[in-house]
Chain A
């Protein structure tokens, strides 16, 4: 499928890989912020005002950056009873399920994009000590679902999880 899609397929692979790495960095940053917050609170009596909301935002960003790779690697939790009991039907069933996945994720991405636009045009900000334009955060939901929709569509044609073209080989030990 990557070959069929050519440039756009490679771009999608690359975006998914970059998302994986940025999600890893966001998660590591969350751990660092928590440790810094405990240190500042106990040793300097100076808790930050921004840590809690930054951590919440980073969590959303990490989750939706990693979501496309989870879809590509087939890591989502599913009850595979039917395919296990009827292995002969596993392939057509897989195609049908990936089609449903592509449609549902594309639909959620579509309505999330509408919501991003509404937040942008109405200048809606996040609640907290350091308000940010809400679409800065919520647009990652659109990215996560949109890219996952593409992966579900690609997996209809390429049944095995597509390996990323990246030195890091995300999911190598998964």
Chain B
């Protein structure tokens, strides 16, 4: 069988099995199991188990567990409520105040949640009903929440960035830090979009009476945000200044979140155990996919398909920017249909040799790959965040959610174009902090 048939046949078969609704890890195991049987007969199954063992004991992956634990404690401890009230007091009198407040919240919430779906569901349930009651436009409100939710996997700490770093063999610290400037730039682009939309059509936001909080209230609001900011500093700052490894920083962040939760006094022993238990379950779900996807990558490597692809790509007379465009377009399109984590597991081993051949800077490339993956989550018709928001706000029409998302999809694509033309926006901060 030629390498092209092996590579594209295996991927097509995998996507087909994904679409049946079988859990992603089982799809990988099914395809890998079949391949092992064909290639090695039953003797290969021992290697199969050893590969799962090897992935599940890869120390770098403990970072995923530690950051998930930190996020779980933060979201259950009451920190989010403190943030909500503080930001409400700090965002001043601007037209469409709640839109800006929602974006600011998403950018900050993204840090503990790390998941776009979680942010969309949280804001859809907590912020959106109030906005709709006050007369804010449902379409723009949904768009702002979805755009804001995209920031979660980009702004550190991001579990997706940790997974990419581990699979693509890129420094996790660099990849996490590389998300800071793109996250802020995208947030500013979304703010700009809201401002322009309100200029064109002022009826999209109601005229609200605004009682300016006293200076004392504002200072108090800032002070209340200090513990949360310290936790984020502990978890990201320690990595940035090379004081601790990403896993250690995640654990220290979890400890800081635990101490903050003692201050809020909302959690009892059972709540802590549940936070740790749900973190373990989420980690198990992620790691079992990784373990099975790594098997898939190993099988592809064994057949020689990936090496052949690398050789062919190296000998092709294709402009590197054309190839870059194709490599970015593939996750953009496929993420409308296939889960982000599953897709990255398939694409990373295939893209890795191409990066070397075409000389793409790894941190820059993988950060843009990550942004591309997450934008697929708000792209109709199958983006995951679209459905998370619809589930959180059932009165929203699906058509309304779809049309609201496009503006933010294209704004994010413009952001990707900006980061492609000015790679320094991604690579500058990790380089400076080295």
Please give the residue numbers on chain A whose beta carbons come within 8 Å of chain B beta carbons, in ascending order.
20-21, 23-28, 30-31, 33-35, 37-38, 52, 55-57, 59-60, 62-67, 69-70, 73, 75-83, 93, 97, 100-101, 104-105, 107-108, 111-112, 114-115, 118, 137-138, 141, 144, 168-174
Question: Does A31 lie within 8 Å of B66, measured CB to CB?
Answer: yes
Cβ-based interface call for B65 (8 A): yes
Give chain B interface residues in 20-55, CB to chain A under 8 Å: 20-26, 29-30, 33, 45-46, 48-50, 52-53
Q: Determine the main DSSP class of A at the interface with B.
A: helix
- Across-interface contacts of B281 in A (CB, < 8 A): 20, 23, 66, 69-70, 73, 75, 170-171, 174
Question: Does A35 lie within 8 Å of B274, measured CB to CB?
Answer: no
- Across-interface contacts of A30 in B (CB, < 8 A): 62, 65-66, 251
Question: Does B56 lie within 8 Å of A27, measured CB to CB?
Answer: no
Complex Cα–Cα for A69 and B252 (A) = 27
Question: Does B65 lie within 8 Å of A82, measured CB to CB?
Answer: no
Question: Does A141 lie within 8 Å of B52, measured CB to CB?
Answer: yes
Not counting A100-B22, A104-B26, a sample of 16 additional A-B residue pairs whose C-beta atoms are within 8 angstroms of each other reads A27-B69, A28-B69, A31-B251, A34-B251, A55-B247, A77-B289, A77-B339, A78-B21, A78-B339, A79-B21, A81-B337, A101-B22, A104-B30, A141-B56, A168-B270, A168-B273
Known: A34-B247, A75-B285. A65 touches B21 (CB 8 A): no
- Across-interface contacts of B21 in A (CB, < 8 A): 78-83, 93, 97
Interface size class on chain B is 35 or more
What are 13 sample pairs from A and B whose C-beta atoms fall under 8 A apart? A24-B280, A25-B276, A27-B65, A34-B62, A76-B23, A76-B24, A77-B339, A78-B339, A82-B20, A101-B22, A118-B46, A141-B56, A174-B278
Complex Cα–Cα for A165 and B282 (A) = 21
Please give the residue numbers on chain B whose beta carbons come within 8 Å of chain A beta carbons, in ascending order.
18-26, 29-30, 33, 45-46, 48-50, 52-53, 56-59, 61-62, 65-66, 69, 76, 244, 247-248, 250-252, 254-255, 270, 272-274, 276-285, 287-289, 337-339, 341-342, 382
Partner of B30 from the list A34, A100, A112, A144 (CB cut-off 8 Å) is: A100
- Closest residue of chain A to B272 (Cβ to Cβ) is A28
Complex Cα–Cα for A107 and B33 (A) = 10
Question: Does A23 lie within 8 Å of B252, measured CB to CB?
Answer: no
Known: A100-B26, A100-B30. A82 touches B283 (CB 8 A): no
What is the number of contacts between chain A and chain B, taking CB atoms within 8 Å? 199
Known: A30-B65, A112-B49. A60 touches B20 (CB 8 A): no
Question: Does A79 lie within 8 Å of B57, measured CB to CB?
Answer: no
Interface centre among B25, B282, B338 (most CB of A within 10 A): B25
Question: Does B18 lie within 8 Å of A79, measured CB to CB?
Answer: yes
Question: Does A137 lie within 8 Å of B24, measured CB to CB?
Answer: no
- Across-interface contacts of A78 in B (CB, < 8 A): 21-24, 339
Question: Does A79 lie within 8 Å of B24, measured CB to CB?
Answer: yes
- Across-interface contacts of A77 in B (CB, < 8 A): 23-25, 285, 289, 339, 341-342
- Across-interface contacts of A73 in B (CB, < 8 A): 281
Interface centre among B30, B289, B337 (most CB of A within 10 A): B30
